[in-house]
Chains A and B, each alone.
Chain A
């Protein structure tokens, strides 16, 4: 009778762990299709210079997405990155123009980002405010702060050496790309191979079960939002370095873009799923799409439409196989 029981429970469904990799394959095929299509349309698309451009541009969204993946795995999300990115950029410009050297400036911006994340985390875990509402509120506040500090103006870097994060680096690849690659590897290891990573997945998979397994769910959740905002602040510095200007409006579309990239990469709003490799491919798809369309002189309005279509297509395809539980 027991055997009958188990065979009855092992039909065509494959374990979820395989499914995730299946979805990863679909994603890679998607990326390949996008690349092939644009390469055929425009021979310049695959030229080294253009590829480096795609990577440099994607690094900003990529950094935000490396942070965003954490709240999404835990079953929430962070809209406030769109305020923290410009705030990070503006603070960096203001502090460096005040004469602070590079590293202390960077450190200050990161601390400011962590503070924003701490507020998010405490609003969500202590006051039990829904992440949508909590981060919507802090989005307004941080975005407003960025505009207040910059007085609504562009703040050019007085010392262009401060833009080192966006300079050309090893092998002619821009530093922000190396930064993104390095942090992606670190985050991948954190999520895959540390107890902390396991806890994040457990909190998103079933918060109550995680709590009863002895995990400090509140502390884990708060730390997630802190990290997410730190990544956003860092992305803000990179973006400002690219433009050699701090601006209160630079990067205000990063929240929806990063959420799109992470969800493309296999995360679900219900939590417990997602990861760095998928997110990186998701970021590259978005980057290739926008760059390819620009090369072919497609107006940017169509680019946002294309992004939406790609998101719905990818999620729709995987959704059919996601209905296990």
Chain B
């Protein structure tokens, strides 16, 4: 590669509240290069991408485009210089047509008036130039996820983007759609567009990309050509050298199976294919998978969010073929801790005490009336058990830190006398201290005989917390690890990334 770099990063640094997120990052990107940006959650990938795309400013260091130093104040300025960022969660207007979405920023207008016809004509022109084929008159909401992604990329190319940053573009796609997307990315690269490709899927990275950059805790620990490394090297780079191996506590005695899931299927994406497992009394079973792998679907199905997922689910003596509502999930004896505490878990304007009561109303009411003394007792007990830091038990949940909010959510599910605790991303977006405390709590609970299913996309959590770990890829369980340790992380990531 002898071309001059289209993008150069020199000594980039960024920290939030004295917490370094990126430290001394430097690398080059040449026209036509597909560079993979890899790293665990929180390694700094998104921050780096956002700095390049102009949505946040670095604390130190320079970004050079064609050898000239730039300082973007907004994504608009970056776009004008030919840098397009395509985020995980696409931003578009679902009820408008594809053509309208493509011309949204700058519709063709004469004296302030525009027309369907003129917009479609312009979009056609732009799309043709970019070498795409899309149903321009279709509504955005009628397209498949993969097609919507194509529209976003087409939009970027039509605006003469020379650098396109894709943030986990295939996370929610099916295999076939992923393949198409890769073809397109390769085509764009062959025409000189430089691509930064953020992904967790190592198989894709090794098939599609030219170079690999690995971030770990804000440091760029590897920059090399794909041909020079193996997936194992990359995983070792991502994880770093972790000295601690093995569990600190003695293995628990695990009792008879209380939750049994057999032949669980779901045909709409993210699909599930013959998922089968059991969770025993006092066991913490982990399910690990990447976004869109189906791991989330397993948790959500047990929580009653996917009535279309069918199989045989038995808890104790109860059996069902599908959990159609969240209420049904409770009735079966499942306490589900949802992944997103703010939108699914908590009533943010409620007090801690009221949040604890919400799933436990039946146990503190008589003839429909709330027994104040019982409510206090319940709140005090849970407050002590999950060790929340707050001014009082009547503080409003929305004012608490993320870690304390998560403790409130987990706590609210503890007293309901449910047979199985299903925890979906139990420590997402939680600080290290709270994370450890939640882990300790979950282990204590298992020691007293609670059956727990932990679905997580955090590999360290998966291997440290769980007695047994299932790895899901494309809706199938591809690996089972008994008594996992930190040393098993590499194998788990490989399996989840589709490398066998």
Measured CB to CB, the closest approach of chain B to A239, in angstroms, equals: 31
Residues B76-102 near A (CB distance < 8 A):
none
Establish whether residues A194 and B326, one from each chain, have CB atoms under 8 Å apart when the complex forms. no
Residues A189-211 near B (CB distance < 8 A):
193-196, 198-199, 201-202, 205-206, 208-211
Residues B296-316 near A (CB distance < 8 A):
303-305
What's the tally of chain B residues with a CB closer than 8 Å to chain A?
46
Residues A1-40 near B (CB distance < 8 A):
1-3, 5-6, 8-10, 13, 15-17
Which chain A residues border B370 with CB–CB below 8 Å?
193-195, 198
Establish whether residues B347 and A272, one from each chain, have CB atoms under 8 Å apart when the complex forms. yes
Interface centre among B345, B349, B354, B361 (most CB of A within 10 A): B349
Given known pairs A5-B389, A325-B348, the reply for A211 and B399 (CB within 8 Å) is no
Establish whether residues A13 and B431, one from each chain, have CB atoms under 8 Å apart when the complex forms. no
Which chain B residues border A17 with CB–CB below 8 Å?
351, 394, 396
* Chain A: interface size category: 35 or more
Measured CB to CB, the closest approach of chain B to A194, in angstroms, equals: 5
Establish whether residues A213 and B412, one from each chain, have CB atoms under 8 Å apart when the complex forms. yes
Which chain B residues border A15 with CB–CB below 8 Å?
351, 391-392, 394-396, 399
Given known pairs A17-B351, A195-B361, the reply for A212 and B390 (CB within 8 Å) is no
A216 at the B interface (CB under 8 A): yes
A273 at the B interface (CB under 8 A): yes
Interface of A, secondary structure class, is: helix
Residue of A nearest to B329 (CB): A214
Which chain B residues border A273 with CB–CB below 8 Å?
349
B217 at the A interface (CB under 8 A): no
Measured CB to CB, the closest approach of chain A to B459, in angstroms, equals: 24
Establish whether residues B326 and A212, one from each chain, have CB atoms under 8 Å apart when the complex forms. yes
Which chain A residues border B327 with CB–CB below 8 Å?
211, 214-216
Establish whether residues B401 and A272, one from each chain, have CB atoms under 8 Å apart when the complex forms. no
Stretch at the interface among B165-173, B336-344, B465-473: B336-344
Which chain B residues border A212 with CB–CB below 8 Å?
303-305, 326, 336, 338, 344-345
As a 0/1 sequence over residues 379 to 394 of chain B, the CB contacts with chain A under 8 angstroms (1 = contact) are 0000000000111101
Which chain B residues border A3 with CB–CB below 8 Å?
389
A324 at the B interface (CB under 8 A): yes
B457 at the A interface (CB under 8 A): no
Residues B394-411 near A (CB distance < 8 A):
394-396, 398-401, 403-404
Residue of A nearest to B392 (CB): A15
B433 at the A interface (CB under 8 A): yes
Measured CB to CB, the closest approach of chain B to A325, in angstroms, equals: 4
Please, how many angstroms separate the alpha-carbon atoms of A311 and B208 in the complex? 61
B269 at the A interface (CB under 8 A): no
Please, how many angstroms separate the alpha-carbon atoms of A325 and B346 in the complex? 13
Given known pairs A198-B361, A210-B347, A213-B412, the reply for A324 and B398 (CB within 8 Å) is yes
Establish whether residues B394 and A1, one from each chain, have CB atoms under 8 Å apart when the complex forms. no
Residue of A nearest to B413 (CB): A213
Which chain A residues border B326 with CB–CB below 8 Å?
211-214
Measured CB to CB, the closest approach of chain B to A66, in angstroms, equals: 19
As a 0/1 sequence over residues 430 to 443 of chain B, the CB contacts with chain A under 8 angstroms (1 = contact) are 01011000000000
Establish whether residues B369 and A194, one from each chain, have CB atoms under 8 Å apart when the complex forms. yes
Given known pairs A195-B368, A212-B303, A216-B327, the reply for A10 and B391 (CB within 8 Å) is yes
Establish whether residues B365 and A195, one from each chain, have CB atoms under 8 Å apart when the complex forms. yes
Residues B344-360 near A (CB distance < 8 A):
344-351, 354, 357-359
Please, how many angstroms separate the alpha-carbon atoms of A212 and B409 in the complex? 11
Residues A131-188 near B (CB distance < 8 A):
none
Establish whether residues B349 and A198, one from each chain, have CB atoms under 8 Å apart when the complex forms. no
Establish whether residues A195 and B362, one from each chain, have CB atoms under 8 Å apart when the complex forms. yes
Which chain A residues border B434 with CB–CB below 8 Å?
2
Measured CB to CB, the closest approach of chain B to A195, in angstroms, equals: 4
Establish whether residues A209 and B349, one from each chain, have CB atoms under 8 Å apart when the complex forms. no
Establish whether residues A5 and B338, one from each chain, have CB atoms under 8 Å apart when the complex forms. no
Establish whether residues A198 and B354, one from each chain, have CB atoms under 8 Å apart when the complex forms. yes
Please, how many angstroms separate the alpha-carbon atoms of A193 and B365 in the complex? 9
Measured CB to CB, the closest approach of chain B to A265, in angstroms, equals: 16
Can you name 18 A-B residue pairings with CB atoms under 8 Å? A5-B389, A6-B404, A9-B400, A13-B399, A15-B351, A15-B395, A16-B351, A17-B351, A193-B372, A195-B361, A195-B362, A195-B365, A195-B370, A199-B361, A205-B347, A205-B348, A272-B347, A324-B396
* Nearest 3 A/B pairs, CB to CB: A205-B347, A214-B330, A6-B389
Residues of A at the B interface (CB closer than 8 Å) are 1-3, 5-6, 8-10, 13, 15-17, 193-196, 198-199, 201-202, 205-206, 208-216, 272-273, 324-325
